[in-house]
Amino acid sequence: DGKKNFDTYIPPIFPCAEVLILNFSHGSCSLPSFLKEIETLKLLIIANGSSTAAELSRLPPSSSLKNLRSVRLERISLPILHTFAEPFLGLQKLSMVLCEVRGEESSPVLEVPNIFPEMTEIEIEYCSEEKSSQVFDIPNIFPEITEIEIDYCNGLERLPTSVCDIPNLRKLSITNCHDLIELPEAIGRMNKLEVLRLRACTAMGGLPKSISELKKLKFLNLSECSNLSSLPETMGGLQGLETIDVRECSARLPVTVMHLKGLIRVICDEETQKMWKPFLVHFKRPVLLDVHKAD
């Protein structure tokens, strides 16, 4: 029937293990019952080697995995979140690669509150839009999240506005998402954001005006955003911005970039340095033009 239970063919393992990697290649699978006995476990990797995402039929009681800090799921269907009987206290990082992140219509997976009350970092890689669009509706399910990394999520055109309501988010990295058209205008509500990385988002045509409200933003990466036609006139409001990466990004610059009082470094290529150089001579203190030559 395509369903396997690890207990039928995996022997009990050392009770003091800190890392456990479970590989399988079936459409559905149950985790080993002895997993709850590994109280020292810190990292759990569950990897599905089949061509389609597999759904786990159950998860171990979270109360027995008090030292678990990181979970990595590969090609897993995430309705497994419904099987969590209690919050995963202590879990800090969740990585999802080629995962389906969607719930049943009658009970969306992300309506389950406070499953990960101490989670600070989430990584999403190689997920299509239909499989990843709901995961960002996370202020309740991940109340303490500080870092989000999204990579190669094709079909993802827009981020839900709810992303902007994550109270402690300090790093948002969206890379190689070639269908991303825009960021929500409400991005200005991310008042603790320090790093915004948008590398190789080749379909994005502009930035929201509210970006100027990111008063704590220190690093902005727009490299390889080849369709970005111009930067907003409000850019000058980023008083805390220290570094901007504009390699292979020929967006037109507004005069207000001269108001970036905190700017100390512009990472550019030989072409984009020509656009920035005339503005930088008006700065009261030197700004490093870090020129990278094309390979």
Work out the pLDDT band at 143, boundaries 50, 70, 90: confident
pLDDT of residue 254: 96
Please report, for residues 90, 143, 163, 173, 259, the alpha-carbon distance to residue 135 in angstroms, rounded to integers and kept in the order given: 20, 13, 10, 15, 36
Q: Please check whether residue 287 is in contact with residue 263, taking contact to mean a CB–CB distance below 8 angstroms.
A: yes
Question: Between these two residues, 38 and 7, which has the higher pLDDT value?
Answer: 38
pLDDT of residue 55: 79
Question: Between these two residues, 207 and 111, which has the higher pLDDT value?
Answer: 207
Range with top average pLDDT, 49-53, 54-58, 111-115, 194-198: 194-198
Work out the pLDDT band at 268, boundaries 50, 70, 90: very high
The alpha helices in 37-193, defined as continuous H runs, are: 129-132
Residue 107 CA to residue 114 CA, distance in Å, equals 16
pLDDT of residue 1: 41
pTM for the full predicted model: 0.86
Sequence ranges of the domains in the chain: 61-291
Work out the pLDDT band at 110, boundaries 50, 70, 90: very low
In the predicted model, what is the mean pLDDT of residues 118-132? 77
In the predicted model, what is the mean pLDDT of residues 137-157? 82
Residue 229 CA to residue 243 CA, distance in Å, equals 20
Say which CATH class 61-291 falls into. Answer: alpha beta
Question: Between these two residues, 101 and 73, which has the higher pLDDT value?
Answer: 73
Residue 284 CA to residue 286 CA, distance in Å, equals 7
Residue 8 CA to residue 23 CA, distance in Å, equals 14
Question: Between these two residues, 147 and 96, which has the higher pLDDT value?
Answer: 147
Please report, for residues 26, 151, 199, the alpha-carbon distance to residue 125 in angstroms, rounded to integers and kept in the order given: 21, 5, 14
Question: Does 239 have pLDDT greater than 70?
Answer: yes
Q: Please check whether residue 241 is in contact with residue 265, taking contact to mean a CB–CB distance below 8 angstroms.
A: no
Q: Please check whether residue 288 is in contact with residue 266, taking contact to mean a CB–CB distance below 8 angstroms.
A: yes
In sequence order, what are the residues at sequence separation of 6 or more whose Cβ sits closer than 8 angstroms to the Cβ of residue 295?
none
Of the candidates 24, 18, 19, the residue with the CA atom closest to the CA atom of residue 2: 24
Model confidence pLDDT, tens digit, residues 187-232: 999 999 999 999 999 999 999 999 999 999 999 999 999 999 999 9
Q: Using only the alpha carbons of the chain, give its radius of gyration.
A: 22
Question: Does 14 have pLDDT greater than 60?
Answer: yes
